[in-house]
Amino acid sequence: MTSTKDQTNILSSVSPSPSPYKRVMLKMSGEVLMGEKDFGLDSSTVERVSYDIKEAIDLGIEVCVVVGAGNIFRGVSGAADGMDRTTADYMGMLGIVMNALALQNALENMGVNTRVQSAIRMDSICEPYIRRKAIRHMAKGRVVIFAAGTGNPYFTTDTAAALRASEMNCDVIMKGTKVDGVYDCDPKVNPDANRYDKVSYIDVLTKDLRIMDATAISLARENDIPIVVFSVMEKGNFAKVACSQGHYTIVTNT
């Protein structure tokens, strides 16, 4: 696998972009979009996150996004409450589409061209997922937001992000969370918790570090796509970390 450092050298020789990554998959949980609220969308947070994405686009980075739906409906919780799991997961996928449209709206309000592509066809609302078309959109500087997960129940949005990142030949998956990386124990509970700068896919799986589910980690590993875990709660952090600055943890093969 080409190391991140090698990638930096290769890409910096062909691109003026300060980022080592040409094409980035941003994965965010739905909870990020609810800000301080207990449920739904917080418009100022959606706007702030969109502005963060715009900053990366302005640097010449191609960005695609997968967002979750935990702020609206969580399939796993629905199933735990006695709902049929498949039905609950489909409801979660519809929640993702709502988040995707909210992000699209906020991005376009600030002049960023976007396309929403859904894994489940709903042609009156957005485009269907077509890989080659998505790549073309990104090459034109449009943010492509992949909605409805993988389109299948029993798969998480983390897996959807790893799948789309693989299909789109993304250079990295940037997992935006509420903390600035991966710790050896919960930093909210233990003030002495240590953040890893770098960790291997295998360690993530064997130490059960819970960055993403095992399917997503395996898919990223098989396709040699590094995963960068960073705080998406900090304004401007997405572009900063995409340029390998600030705090984050990178998950790679080594």
Among 36, 38, 123, 192, binds ligand GTP (CB under 6 A): 123
Distance of closest approach, residue 111 Cβ to ligand GTP, in angstroms: 15
Binding mask 75-94 for ligand GTP (x = CB under 6 A): --------------------
CA 101 – CA 69 distance, rounded (Å): 12
In the region spanning residues 96 to 115, those forming contacts with ligand GTP, defined by CB under 6 A, are 115
How far, in whole angstroms, is CA 37 from its chain's centroid?
21
Q: Which stretch binds ligand GTP (CB under 6 A): 120-128, 220-228, 229-237, 240-248?
A: 120-128
HEC letters along 126-178: CEECCHHHHHHHHHCCCEEEEECCCCCCCCCHHHHHHHHHHHCCCCEEEEEEC
CB neighbour class for 226 (10 Å; exposed up to 12, middle 13-18, buried from 19): buried
How many residues bind ligand GTP (CB under 6 A)? The answer is 9
By the rule CB under 6 A, 125 interacts with ligand GTP: yes
Cβ atoms of 21 and 11 within 8 Å: the answer is yes
Reference 150, options 101, 71, 215; nearest CA is 215
Q: How far is CA 164 from the centre of its chain?
A: 10
139 near ligand GTP (CB under 6 A): no
Which one, 41 or 143, has the nearer CB to ligand GTP?
A: 143
Distance between CA atoms of residues 60 and 47, nearest Å:
20
Q: Which is nearer to ligand GTP, 125 or 185 (CB)?
A: 125
Which of 127, 167, 203, 213 binds ligand GTP (CB under 6 A)? It is 127
In angstroms, rounded to a whole number, what is the distance separating the alpha carbons of residues 184 and 194? 6
> 57 or 204, CB closer to ligand GTP?
57
Q: Does 42 bind ligand GTP (CB under 6 A)?
A: no
> Considering only 123-131, 149-157, 183-191, 210-218, which stretch makes contact with ligand GTP by CB under 6 A?
123-131
Q: Which residues in this chain contact ligand GTP in the complex, by CB under 6 A?
A: 115, 123-128, 136, 140
